[in-house]
Amino acid sequence: MINFSARLSLVLSILVLAIKFFAYEMTKSTAVFSDAVESIVNVIAALVALFVMKAVAEPADEEHPYGHGKLEYFSAAFEGGLIAFAAIAIGIEAVRALIHEKVLRQPDIGLYVMGAAALINLLLGLHLRTVGRKFRSEALKASATHVLSDVWTSVGVMGGLAIVHVTGLAWIDPLVGVLIALQLGYSGYRIVRQSIGALIDEKEPKVLRELVASFNKAKKKWVIDIHQMKMIRSGRFHHIDAHMVVPEYWNVAETHEATTEFEKEVVSAYSFDAEIAFHVDPCEKKYCRTCEMLDCQIRQEPFEAVRPMSVETVVRGPLP
């Protein structure tokens, strides 16, 4: 499904590009030209995403033990960079058009043609966003964000054409081009910022909350505490390291069996593909007040209440 969506994105991006340049030839509008330049970015990004999706689908191997998922972040960052570059080019052209006023032709026809392009992009963007969220594809989600922002760009262009058509104020058209450049620059920055964060495994609060919810769902009495959790994200695959506190009187075999089963339950409740490496810590009688093992023979203090697991407690250190 992901590869199909990437191919569909490429085909429709080429179609929309052709439609927009046709609209430019009909109108000689700076705003339409700006929107068409953005569509060139869509085509290049869709082509890159298609190749990236094929690489990402390859399983982990000896040289890439965590798979190829991080390529998605490179794809998204590349797309964001192209958007920022397009914003600069569009801004320069729009300013020139403001200084040297152009005569706009057939804005009414431009409205219809741009409306068709916007509709195609809207349907494509909604499809890419749905598939990207379902399969946790960063490349498709970045493409969806860009394509849907392109819809708003086209709507802005259409608004400018309508105003020029009604009022005859030709300077409105390049002004819309300047606004498009500013909007694209911000969109490109956001995509690059998010992609860089994923590449360097920046904490993702939403993902952490989902993982902690999986911990809580699978929690057993003997899971006394989980802390110092770290995560490496590689597309859909997540490698998770964490310390788990268990009863200190358990032997190695007992601990291994229990933690392995706990990991399976957590991963089954988690929406990403994942593996968890638990570093097992003995309770050392520090957790008696929050330990639910009521039949413990070495308890030093009475049980008071379970220490709830939250993102804050899971990522920080153990109890002092």
- Per-residue pLDDT of 279-289, as tens digits, reads 999 988 888 98
Number of domains the chain contains:
2
**Could you report the per-residue pLDDT of 191-243, keeping only the tens digit for each?**
888 888 888 778 888 889 999 999 999 999 999 999 999 998 887 788 999 99
Structural domain boundaries, residue 241: 205-315
d(CA 90, CA 26): 19
d(CA 189, CA 174): 23
d(CA 48, CA 184): 19
22 and 162 assigned to the same domain: yes
257 and 192 assigned to the same domain: no
d(CA 93, CA 143): 25
Give yes or no for residue 265 having a pLDDT over 90.
Answer: yes
The dihedrals phi and psi of 282, each to the nearest 5 degrees, come to -75, 150
pTM: 0.66
Report pLDDT for 161. Answer: 82
> Could you tell me which of 20, 174, 6 has the C-alpha nearest to residue 79?
6
Whole-number average pLDDT of the chain: 84
CATH number, residue 214:
3.30.70.1350
Q: What number is the average pLDDT over the span 47-74?
A: 76
Report pLDDT for 150. Answer: 80
173 and 253 assigned to the same domain: no
Judge contact between 232 and 201, C-beta under 8 A.
Answer: yes
Supply 187's token pair: 């969109």
d(CA 63, CA 60): 8
Q: Which of 177, 199, 221 is the last residue of a domain?
A: 199
| Most distant CA pair in the chain, distance | 90
Give yes or no for residue 72 having a pLDDT over 80.
Answer: no
- Alpha-carbon dihedral of residues 51, 60, 215, 138, nearest 10 degrees? -10
Give yes or no for residue 100 having a pLDDT over 80.
Answer: no
Helix (H, G, I), strand (E, B) or coil at 305: coil
18 and 100 assigned to the same domain: yes
Rounded to 5°, angle at Cα 267 from 263 and 270: 145
11 and 129 assigned to the same domain: yes
Going by pLDDT thresholds of 50, 70 and 90, the confidence category of residue 319 is low
Report pLDDT for 2. Answer: 67
Report pLDDT for 223. Answer: 92
**Could you report the per-residue pLDDT of 14-55, keeping only the tens digit for each?**
898 899 888 888 888 888 888 888 788 778 877 887 777 777
Q: What number is the average pLDDT over the span 157-164?
A: 83
d(CA 167, CA 119): 26
Q: What number is the average pLDDT over the span 166-170?
A: 82
Rounded to 5°, angle at Cα 53 from 38 and 238: 115
Q: What number is the average pLDDT over the span 104-108?
A: 78
